[in-house]
Amino acid sequence: MSKNSDYPKVMCTQHPDAASKYISTQEEPEEALEAATTFGCDEYMPDYEGKATPYHQNVQIVSKFIEETDLVPGKDFFITPRAPSAVQENRFRQLMVMMSIAEANQVALEYSDVQAINEFVHPMTGTVREIIEAQQHMVDVSELAKKEFGFSMDVPRIVPLIEDAPALLHAKELAENTILSWKEHFGIAPEKFRVFLGKSDSALSFGHVVSALSCKYAINGITELNAELDIKTGVILGAGSLPFRGHLDLKNAENFFTEYKGIGTITLQSAVRFDHEKGDAKALVKLAKARLPETPDIYSVEEKEELVNIMGIFGARYSRILKELGPAINGIAELLPQQRDRLMNKGRNGYSRTAPDISGLTSLCCSDIGKELENSMPAEDLRLPRAIKFTGALYSIGLPPEFIGTGLALEDTRKRLGETACENLLTKYYPSLKSDLDFASKYLNLNVASRFLSGTCLKEVSKDIGILCDILNLETRPEPSYNILLEMMQPELLQTGNMDEEVSQLVCSTITKMGKIRKALG
């Protein structure tokens, strides 16, 4: 039986969240090497999801490790590509990545008897069928490789990435049904199995608190499953350094590891490696290797009911404001630097986000709370930037997204569910909320934000912040140098007619400098 401790502890990723460094696809094989030899990571994720990563990158990385280190890929260091979703992008790109996995394994097996790539990540997973279909295609590619190139490999296993709050609430069922369907379809249960939980996209769709709570709910569910099955499912938690995207950095490490007990692997994203103090990333990796995994407390039935109703309340408050934000932040998001080589957002090979199916959350809530959440959602899909640029854009106008809907939802929770539920949220379910908001408050400036927000939006956000200051004793004191840059942000500068090259460079430079001060682009 596999144990959680057998899994890698720190996965270095290609997330474009560093403010201070652009990394081209040509530099990424060297980045993988650096992840192992400089930072001490034990896993690297070549990323093909919505990204212009060349298919031969897997082979380049494996070859680099063979030629330049004593580390054996697949034994001393793990390479786990993220393939495109056949549903969200297209099947052709997914199959090409699978072929590149086979090629990388052929190169590795010519060097040693160790297979380099044993898993691959499937993004935006919604159903068991998606997982089984993708796994079957990996089986087909493995058989083709054996037929055409005369080598055999163990079929790399799929790692489903669950990225929206309603799906996270059903992570246990998804994992269990996948394992059962796997056994039925392929004749044997997977020898090892991991689930990847995403903080960022659930935050974008439902807000900071719902995202954190849904990840914790998922971790609890997987922990329950591990007690029930003969296979130990490992949990990867994808988190960035800003609170909205997970608050994973060295300074907040104690809060993070306590908050998300039960995970076996963290992601070390670009901002922590390149924007934070020298040595922080290496120290964080060392700490993660010492701490992970830790056993979480298991929620009771009553606690789960309370949690989902809290999530319904917070999701509704956030969604009401989100509907107003799209026009204000899309233009700003486009001015944030593109720190990795991405695909276009539109077209046949494009990549876009759509509004999530909320039934997985509303079905668990009290009927009135579920109905309120349904009514708060946009009538149609909002055009929003991806999570990193969404977060960076809001920080760039003085409105960290951690605040959106949070104060009013706290007040609603107290009124709808009682004082005890509110206290449970702050002390038991999410005790790190205050430290998250303390961090974000250094970059809050409602005077600047008011230039970009509608009157309705500004009124609601002002109430949020007033309530949070009262309940949590927050002090909103903007970081002085950051505040100077914030004051330079004027809506008229961002209007197409006024955006000449000189103004564009000034605004982009200002936005990038703010990212460097907060030590993450988004």
Q: What is the DSSP string of 56-73?
A: THHHHHHHHHHHH-S--B
Bridge partner list, 65: none
The pLDDT assigned to 198 comes to 97
* pLDDT one digit per residue (tens) for the chain, 522 residues: 233 448 999 999 999 999 999 999 999 999 999 999 999 999 999 999 989 999 999 999 999 999 999 999 999 999 999 999 888 777 899 999 999 999 999 999 999 899 999 999 999 999 999 999 999 999 999 999 999 888 899 999 999 999 999 999 999 999 999 999 999 999 998 988 999 999 999 999 999 999 999 999 999 999 999 999 888 899 999 999 999 999 999 999 999 999 999 999 999 999 999 999 999 999 999 999 999 999 998 999 999 999 999 999 999 999 999 988 877 788 899 899 999 988 765 443 344 455 668 999 999 999 999 999 999 987 666 788 999 999 999 999 999 999 999 999 999 999 999 999 999 999 999 999 999 999 999 999 999 999 999 999 999 999 999 999 999 999 888 899 999 999 999 887 776 555 677 888 888 999 999 999 999 999
Place of tokens 């993070």: 256
Strand, helix or coil for residue 194: strand
Q: What is the largest CA-CA distance in the chain?
A: 69
Name all domains of the chain by residue range, CATH numbers in brackets. Answer: 10-299 (3.20.20.60), 302-337+355-518 (no CATH)
Rounded to whole angstroms, what are the CA distances from 67 to 33, 71, 252, 318?
Answer: 11, 10, 37, 51
The pLDDT assigned to 120 comes to 98
Does residue 388 contact residue 522 with C-beta atoms inside 8 Å? Answer: yes
Q: Where are the alpha helices (DSSP H) in 280-418?
A: 280-291, 301-333, 359-362, 367-376, 387-395, 406-417
Q: What pLDDT digit, counting tens, does each position of 247-286 carry?
A: 999 999 999 999 999 999 999 999 999 999 999 999 999 9
Distance CA 152, CA 142 (A): 7
The pLDDT assigned to 352 comes to 46
Question: In degrees to the nearest 10, what's the CA dihedral of 306, 165, 233, 123?
Answer: 180
The pLDDT assigned to 318 comes to 96
Strand, helix or coil for residue 242: coil
List, edge to edge, every strand of the sheet that includes 265-268: 78-79, 43-44, 10-12, 265-268, 233-238, 193-198, 157-162, 119-122
DSSP state of 428: I
Residue 292's Cβ-count burial label (10 Å; 0-12, 13-18, 19+) is buried
Distance CA 219, CA 57 (A): 32
The pLDDT assigned to 499 comes to 67
β-pairing, 119-122 vs 193-198, is unpaired
Rounded to whole angstroms, what are the CA distances from 422 to 216, 307, 414?
Answer: 17, 10, 5
